[in-house]
Structure 1
Amino acid sequence: MAKLIKSLFCCIVFAYSAMAQVPLNDLAYTDSLSAILNGQHNDSSKSGAAFQLTEYYAQKDTIRAMQYLQQSRAWLGNSPLLRALYPYYYGLLLARTQPPLAEAQFLLADSLLKKIPGSASCGFQARAWQKYGVLQQVKDNEEAYMDIIIHKVMPLARQAGDSIFIGKSLLDLGIVFKNNAKRDKAEAYCLEAISVLKGREGAESLLVEVYYTIAENYILSGKNPQARAMLDSAWVLLSPYPESDKVIDYYGAEGMYYTMQAQFDKALGSLDKGIQLARRRGLRYEGQRLELQQFYAYYNQKNFAKAKEVMLRLMQQPEMMARANNRIQLYYGLAETYRALGQMTPAYQWLMSFSQLSDSLSASRSRNEISALEAKYRNAESRKRISVLEAASESSSLSARNTLLTLWLLAAVSIALVIASAFTLFYYRNNKKLSEQKEINYQQQLREMEQQQQLGISRAMLEGEERERRRVARDLHDGLGGMLAGVKIKLSNLGAGHDHHAALHNIVGQLDSSMKELRLIARNLMPESLLKFGLETALKDLCESLRSERTQIDFQAFGIEPDIAEPVQVTIYRIVQETLTNAIRHANASEILLQCSQNGDAFFITVEDNGKGFDLSGIANAAGIGMSNIKNRVKYLKGKLDISSVLNEGTTINIELNVGD
């Protein structure tokens, strides 16, 4: 039964991954969307609210979801994005009842969205492919699902800059590894998802799902303290919203935790809380999933009568019986329960039903168990006949024949068990080899993705350096070269004029300007103060050189350590230089605040100005060399870049860099 408990909870976690991501306070969420539909808002806002309500009710109330989807059509207008999103939300509505049609809708949405530029269309492309992949997973094609997540969903989510959906993709990979008993891999992906999602606004609901998943993975790995810690982390987020749908799943995970520790009363208590909440929310299937977990608690508690009562009740529920995975659980659970009660005939019948429905390894193992159970059943029937014959006659010859028959039956049972064990061992070894090969393939794909990303970053850095060299050459030729050429011409003509004093004064002035230009170019190439006195002094000199009557720069430094590696210091200097230059040249700022601080291996840069600002919607496609250089250098130091800007009010740039070895 322990194996069935583990497979049951894998099915429950899969249900998590297919659900829509909504805030934990889902009641306030739906109320706010309904207010938009009924208020004075533009068509775009109303269509977006109708789409979100469609997704929310798609798994709860299909009639209501269809009503919202139909309402959305009145507000689509001529917007290409809204029209491309309609098949995506229609696919969500069809996913449970008509999977083939849902697949077609998701592919249609992708084909329409890829024609629309921008991060929003990329983000919805990622979602369409994720939903398409889930439908492949439902068909037990996990290889296709993994391929879609790795090669479709995650690249599109990164292109859209959607960190939350990247976290969801990592969770999906973790669930696949968990379902295939790759506990270490599942843990690694879940921990990475937590690092991506933790602290991000709007990620609380998805973060709770990650906590459930890794908690269940720890439970199945026997790491109970870690599992309890993850459940507690989930409850910290859930406790303000005791009526949230996510609380139902929390009680399910907690019930699993107590069941696997043989604390059955606590398990039943947690599961009952979840069942009552599901009934209050009208979520029939969610409540039935928790009732199925109650069966395992009762069974392992050896309360077989109560376990049978739960299973027979679930057999009458259309929501539970609609899914083949659930029927497999119910059939096998009833077979085991009747066997424990000593009722071999119904146990054999339910095990036959289980065998007809299951496939692959589960089917193979069930057939072996059926053979053993059938032999026991026939053995019991034979013994009944033997008893009748012995009562009718005390003939020694008849007793001998009956004894011989019993020995033959026992021998048959032993042979059947040996054959079953041999087939199970053979199948297990083959399946293990296939799983190891799949894991090698998955890791190779991930390594190739990382290598491509590193190559892209290196290429961008080299191109930036090449542009810098061209700029220096242009400055030398057009600036300093022209000035010195003028000096040469005037010195050549000096003898032909009369006012030598005025001419010499003019030439000295030009030479002075040439020297200033030379110093400026030298500072741009490599500031001497950086090499001699360190980063903080160089930044102070940079601010002094850029400060003017129309532009004031306030520089503040906190805890900058002198032992930062020289290449890192140069990179930080270039980042600050580009941000200040952009603020002066492009934003026309009159006041600039520059703050630089260090905390261990983390280096923080903040640049605030009161310039004219800009539209952030175009920053992802910005073609300016300055902004491109900033982004590439931040990536080079494994940093993070955050820009906020308001038109006619100013811009704030926050940068976090890794300056460790």
Structure 2
Amino acid sequence: MKPIFTLVFAFILPALYCLAQDAPGKFNRDSLARVLQQSVPDSVKARACFFLADEWRDTDTAISRRYTITGKGFSSGDPFLQAVSLLYEAKLSAPAAPDSAAKMFRQAESRLERFQNREALLFRSMCWHDYARVFHFDKDDPETYINLLLNKAIPLAQQAGDRLYVGKNYLDVAFGFKNLEEFSKAGTYLLLAIETLRNETGNVKYLASAYHTTSENYSLSGKPAAAARYMDSMRVLLAPYPDAIEWLDYYAGESMRLTVAEQFDRSLALSAKGIALARQLHQPYTEQRLLLQKFYALYNKRDLAQARNVALDLSRRQPFIGIAANRLLLFYGLVATYEDMNNIPEAYQWLKRYSHLNDSLAKSNLEAKINALEIKFRNAEHQKEIVALNAANDKANFALKRTTLLSWSLGSVSVLLFAIVLLGYFFHKSRRKTAVQREQIKVSQAMIQGQEEERKRVARDLHDSLGGLLASTKITLSEIAGNEHGNNQPGLGGIINQLDGSIKELRRIAHNMMPEMLLTLGLEAALKDLCDTFVPGHPVIHFQCLGIRPDIPQGEQVIIYRIVQELLTNAIKHAGATKVLLQCNQQGNRFFITVEDDGIGIEADTLHTKQGMGFMNIRNRIAYLHGKMDVLSRSGQQGISINIEVYVTTEIQASYPG
């Protein structure tokens, strides 16, 4: 019996905690149900019931309710599992009674606080996550939803060590920002979710959703090419599971992408396929999301009558129309449709509904912020009362402590004098070290500025002076070769070809020393051009950028360009890499650079101590921008990942560490 118990216990807990799976939406429910018929402890049966309740919640609420009640029965006498059963009761009642469920989520979390193990931490994270969902879906308060996930659910999941649930929460944060049309912030958390989920067991369900949402985010940002890459990744991920429910998200995301790409008939075909599958799987909300994609495709195809009929049908559908953000999208779509059909009275009626809803949401958000401020004020008042009570208590105890204090004062003075001398020594030593470091930074800054000025001067001289001279010589020789006398001079054509090659090489050298594109079009365009110049015709460098602002001073743009140039040169020419991923991302005055390759690799310690000119230049330029560099490389394995964070100057004055 003991080996069976051990096997069952080891299987149920990871499945319950992490929602891991061998295939998306495909758990062996029968095997779990058979656990309830075996001679195993009630605690194991309770966990199996809760896991099965999760499994059936989206497809059959009656079965989910039965397993929740059964699990509660097996939890009697165990305070920990009783708290967990309260969580699952709240999950069950959330759709019909969100306010009651919210109170139950908080009660369950409060009870679980007494237990300090990883299991309790994960269940507490689930409590905060589902409590946050009440604000998003029932109170139309995405700001509170995002705040609770970032400050409550995610830290607890990280303490529990559950990367799968951490990645799911990052994904939900991205949903919140996307619904607020904060596509840049949504993209940041989507990439973080993908990175967290990528190598985790049982990641298919959430990783597929992350790919789909990232594609939608790029489509809404007007970047169909990037959207297509993530839909391709989702299709490859789901290929082994043809019946997975996650294909519904694929149809929705690909339909949106095709509409943005103006391939309306293909978009309509995919949305129809998705709608049929959603009806077959009894997924009403997903069906309604696909109907919205159908509306967008019909509207942009200018089939206005069909688009209007789909939108009107969707305006009567629950649960889609119950979410304020969805109502705004649909009302605005009907305004545009009726206006394009020249039905101005109907367009005006829908515009009034849209404006009223928009104003109501703004008022609701304002009231939520006022309530939050009121809570803070009350907390401050309570804190004042506590401070006053503490002051009275301190005054009563002061006379008693005074005698004891006098007896210790002489000894304390001696210790204090010694500490002052010791601190003075260390302070002096630290100041000397800091002065040396500042001097080194000034020298590095002067060298870097001098190098760039000299590069610019030499590039200009090469291009304008020597380049012009060579071009003039080539023209003269071409004229000689073109007349009847020049044709009799052997080798003149070869000399012209050599001059032409020299001119191209001269221009390449001048561009490399100071790229003209950086000075005219900015950093993002220059980095893309740099990636295209390494191996023409072979796109081994995948370049991704996010939020690069055009107001970075040109000198700092040049430094970032040189850092990336050195890193790519090392990866392709020295490490022999065939695939390189370059990511550049700006958040405020922080600029992030990530380079990953499949080359021969190098020890991280060796990289930081290597004295070659390339690595010295990288380190000096990072120091110039007050940055830091982290290197991830495993001994004896190919590939390396280099992560760099530097600080740039923006319109809002930058603040640097230290």
Instruction: Name the TM-score, length of structure 1 as normaliser.
Output: 0.50
Q: Which runs of 5+ in 2 are unaligned?
A: 1-17, 365-599, 610-630, 644-658
Equivalent position amino acid for 2:81 in 1: L
1:44/1:340 CA distance change after superposition, 3 Å? same
| 1:370 corresponding residue in structure 2 | none
Structure 2 CA distance for aligned equivalents of residues 126 and 193 of structure 1: 17
CA deviations 1:336-376 (Å, max 9, x no partner) are 32332222333333333333333368899xxxxxxxxxxxx
Structure 2 CA distance for aligned equivalents of residues 221 and 339 of structure 1: 25
| 1:358 corresponding residue in structure 2 | 358
CA deviations 1:564-615 (Å, max 9, x no partner) are 46999xxxxxxxxxxxxxxxxxxxxxxxxxxxxxx9832489xxxxxxxxxx
Structure 2 CA distance for aligned equivalents of residues 308 and 22 of structure 1: 41
| 1:63 corresponding residue in structure 2 | 62
What's the secondary structure of 2:115's corresponding residue? coil
What's the secondary structure of 1:358's corresponding residue? helix
| 2:84 corresponding residue in structure 1 | 85
The answer as to whether partners of 1:308 and 1:334 remain within 8 angstroms in 2 is yes
1:602 counterpart = 2:634: yes
Q: How far apart are residue 56 of structure 1 and its match?
A: 3.1
Q: How far apart are residue 66 of structure 1 and its match?
A: 1.6
| 2:49 corresponding residue in structure 1 | 50
| 1:264 corresponding residue in structure 2 | 264
Structure 2 CA distance for aligned equivalents of residues 63 and 190 of structure 1: 34
Structure 1 CA distance for aligned equivalents of residues 103 and 259 of structure 2: 41
Q: How far apart are residue 41 of structure 1 and its match?
A: 4.6
The answer as to whether partners of 1:20 and 1:56 remain within 8 angstroms in 2 is no
1:195/1:151 CA distance change after superposition, 3 Å? same
Q: How far apart are residue 254 of structure 1 and its match?
A: 0.7
1:333 counterpart = 2:333: yes
Aligned residues: 366
The answer as to whether partners of 2:224 and 2:260 remain within 8 angstroms in 1 is no
The answer as to whether partners of 1:248 and 1:278 remain within 8 angstroms in 2 is yes
1:38/1:271 CA distance change after superposition, 3 Å? farther
The answer as to whether partners of 1:21 and 1:206 remain within 8 angstroms in 2 is no
The answer as to whether partners of 2:25 and 2:205 remain within 8 angstroms in 1 is no
Structure 2 CA distance for aligned equivalents of residues 561 and 264 of structure 1: 49
Q: How far apart are residue 204 of structure 1 and its match?
A: 1.8
| 2:382 corresponding residue in structure 1 | none
Give runs of aligned pairs for residues 236-635 of structure 1, distance below 5 A: 236-359=236-359, 564=605, 601-603=633-635
Q: How far apart are residue 80 of structure 1 and its match?
A: 2.6
Equivalent position amino acid for 2:111 in 1: L
Q: How far apart are residue 211 of structure 1 and its match?
A: 0.9
1:567/1:22 CA distance change after superposition, 3 Å? closer
1:178/1:319 CA distance change after superposition, 3 Å? closer
Structure 2 CA distance for aligned equivalents of residues 357 and 164 of structure 1: 37
RMSD over aligned CA atoms reads: 3.5
Structure 1 CA distance for aligned equivalents of residues 79 and 91 of structure 2: 20
What's the secondary structure of 1:317's corresponding residue? coil
1:268/1:600 CA distance change after superposition, 3 Å? closer
Q: Which runs of 5+ in 1 are unaligned?
A: 1-18, 365-558, 569-598, 606-636, 639-661
What's the secondary structure of 2:114's corresponding residue? coil
Structure 1 or 2, whichever has the larger Rg, is 1
The answer as to whether partners of 1:332 and 1:350 remain within 8 angstroms in 2 is yes
1:315/1:172 CA distance change after superposition, 3 Å? closer
1:80/1:284 CA distance change after superposition, 3 Å? same
Structure 2 CA distance for aligned equivalents of residues 237 and 357 of structure 1: 40
1:85/1:183 CA distance change after superposition, 3 Å? same
1:560/1:112 CA distance change after superposition, 3 Å? same
What's the secondary structure of 1:117's corresponding residue? coil
Instruction: Name the TM-score, length of structure 2 as normaliser.
Output: 0.50
What's the secondary structure of 1:245's corresponding residue? coil
The answer as to whether partners of 1:123 and 1:162 remain within 8 angstroms in 2 is yes
Q: How far apart are residue 146 of structure 1 and its match?
A: 3.1
1:252/1:95 CA distance change after superposition, 3 Å? same
Q: How far apart are residue 305 of structure 1 and its match?
A: 1.4
Equivalent position amino acid for 1:190 in 2: L
Structure 2 CA distance for aligned equivalents of residues 27 and 108 of structure 1: 32
| 2:161 corresponding residue in structure 1 | 161
Percent of aligned pairs with the same residue? Answer: 35
Equivalent position amino acid for 2:249 in 1: D
Structure 1 CA distance for aligned equivalents of residues 601 and 314 of structure 2: 65
| 1:126 corresponding residue in structure 2 | 125
The answer as to whether partners of 2:21 and 2:27 remain within 8 angstroms in 1 is no
Structure 2 CA distance for aligned equivalents of residues 562 and 346 of structure 1: 68
Structure 2 CA distance for aligned equivalents of residues 218 and 563 of structure 1: 34
Q: How far apart are residue 259 of structure 1 and its match?
A: 0.9
The answer as to whether partners of 2:315 and 2:330 remain within 8 angstroms in 1 is yes
| 1:26 corresponding residue in structure 2 | 25
Structure 2 CA distance for aligned equivalents of residues 287 and 562 of structure 1: 51
1:59/1:358 CA distance change after superposition, 3 Å? farther
| 1:112 corresponding residue in structure 2 | 111
Structure 1 CA distance for aligned equivalents of residues 336 and 266 of structure 2: 23
